Amino acid sequence: MDFLPIFLNIRERPCLVIGGGNVAERKVSLLLDAGARVTVISTELCDNLKELQEQNIIEYRQGEYTEDDLSGKALVIAATDNHAVNESISSWANQHNVPVNVVDNPDLGSFIMPSIIDRSPVQIAISTGGSSPVLARTLRSKLESMIPSAYGRLGELMEENREMAKQVFSSVDERRYFWERILSGPVVEMVMAGQDARAREYLSQEFKDAQNKQHHDVGEVYLVGAGPGDPDLLTFRALRLMQQADVVVYDRLVSKQILDLVRRDADRIYVGKERSNHAVPQEDINHLLARLGKEGKKVCRLKGGDPFIFGRGGEEIDTLMQQEVPFQVVPAVTAASGAASYAGIPLTHRDYSQSVVFATGHLKDGSMNLNWDGLAQPNQTIVFYMGLQGLDVICRELIAHGMPSDTPIALVQKATTPEQKVVTGVLESMPQAVKDSDIKPPTLIIVGKVVTLHERLNWFQH
């Protein structure tokens, strides 16, 4: 993060704009909207600023600024058309810790002005860190059209009821649950439809009901599949639950980008799962989830890929079921689908493969207890999860059970992420090829004739 986004309260605070042209005027009008006391210093004023001066809305001083003018200001905007002047304003202000923005050179100042979507009291500020104002504006117009103007009134309604919520609900969590429920209920539609009075009535009824019911919020565990890595592959439901969780329990396969989408204030518990070094034993994870749920928490158990494909999701909900903790399961794109799509290897194909099997390639005591005869079938694709360490065994056993030694095989490392790497070869020579490479887990193994399609259909490149 190059900048810290904040919203500054400058109501009744002295702010200084140096410069009197159109650019200065736009900044002045923003400062006035935020309730600041604005002084403009400039050799001359454009018509609109003149008008503001005549109406005593701004204070104006004709001439050059001095350092005394800068000192003690809540913020300063350098908007002259003289680059050297702007530069000396910013250099003094920076030295004296007065927040300063330089309109023609954002790098000089201590803060930059974002693109704004104003639905006061709701405000959205967008910044590209100065890298592309056009990109910021494009995003802004997208959001403008997505966020109805009624959001402002919705914000007001909530503001009006903040005190009430504090009286009715003593804890922060209770208040948050209440508002989350309200915001996913009919009140929003009422406000959007302009039926504010009805919305107010509904809300006050909700408060009354909450006061009468001594209700105890039970927790819930969300067993959420996070997909193979690319955050765009999350489901809507996954994202929604990630954003309302109090605690997130995640492991190594969950990418940082995805973790960044979890509600900021949520506690994060890492229960990593390194190969053969389970940071927290599965049994403990099961009990941890149950305990957090019983404490009334909304727990997001975030797992790589799909929770029910080599994810031990079944064991986790089994414990929750036994201990009567409510839960829900959110499916996701499993590594096989992600790797297949992003590597251009269709798992089935009319010419090559009429079935696909997902198998675990996890080594136990140096071997794999699999039905090799069933796997080594022609016209079938086999996908091995967790198979990198056991690649030797996989290739040897498949050949031993009748698969031609030149059967195509692909390894897909970190599928769907910018570090995706695909290595293709044949059963016989792949183990050696991998020893000579720097392929790392997580890696998925795909065996079958469909692998030959990779060369033609490979579309995902960085």
Active site residues: 251, 273
Residue 152 · residue 122 · CB < 8 Å: yes
Quote the CA–CA distance of 322 and 325 in Å, as a whole number.
8
For ligand SAH, give the closer residue by CB, 77 or 411.
Answer: 411
Report the phi/psi class of residue 346: left, alpha or beta, with left for phi > 0 and alpha for psi in -120 to 50.
beta
Nearest to 207 by CA among 183, 171, 179, 184: 179
For ligand SAH, give the closer residue by CB, 158 or 258.
Answer: 258
For ligand SAH, give the closer residue by CB, 100 or 391.
Answer: 391
Q: State the nearest-atom distance from the C-beta of 257 to ligand SAH, in Å.
A: 12
Residue 101 · residue 113 · CB < 8 Å: yes
Residue 17 · residue 28 · CB < 8 Å: yes
For ligand SAH, give the closer residue by CB, 151 or 342.
Answer: 342
User: Using only C-alpha atoms, what is the Rg of the chain?
Assistant: 30
For ligand SAH, give the closer residue by CB, 18 or 386.
Answer: 386
What residues contact residue 190 under an 8 Å CB cut-off, 6+ apart? 196, 198, 199, 202
Give me the residues that bind ligand SAH (CB under 6 A), please.
228-229, 253, 303-306, 309-311, 334-335, 339, 385-386, 412, 414-416, 441-444
Helices then strands, counting H and E runs in the chain, come out as 19, 19
What residues contact residue 384 under an 8 Å CB cut-off, 6+ apart? 359, 360, 361, 390, 394, 444, 445, 446, 447
For ligand SAH, give the closer residue by CB, 221 or 335.
Answer: 335
Tokens coding 147 = 């966020």
AA identity, residue 305: G
Quote the CA–CA distance of 323 and 310 in Å, as a whole number.
23
Q: State the nearest-atom distance from the C-beta of 248 to ligand SAH, in Å.
A: 17
Q: State the nearest-atom distance from the C-beta of 440 to ligand SAH, in Å.
A: 10
Give the other-Cβ count within 10 Å of 322's Cβ. Answer: 10
Cβ-proximal residue to ligand SAH, closest one: 305
Indicate the helix (H) or strand (E) that contains 258. helix 256-259
For ligand SAH, give the closer residue by CB, 341 or 407.
Answer: 341
Q: State the nearest-atom distance from the C-beta of 102 to ligand SAH, in Å.
A: 44
Quote the CA–CA distance of 358 and 382 in Å, as a whole number.
6
Instruction: State the DSSP code for 62.
Output: E
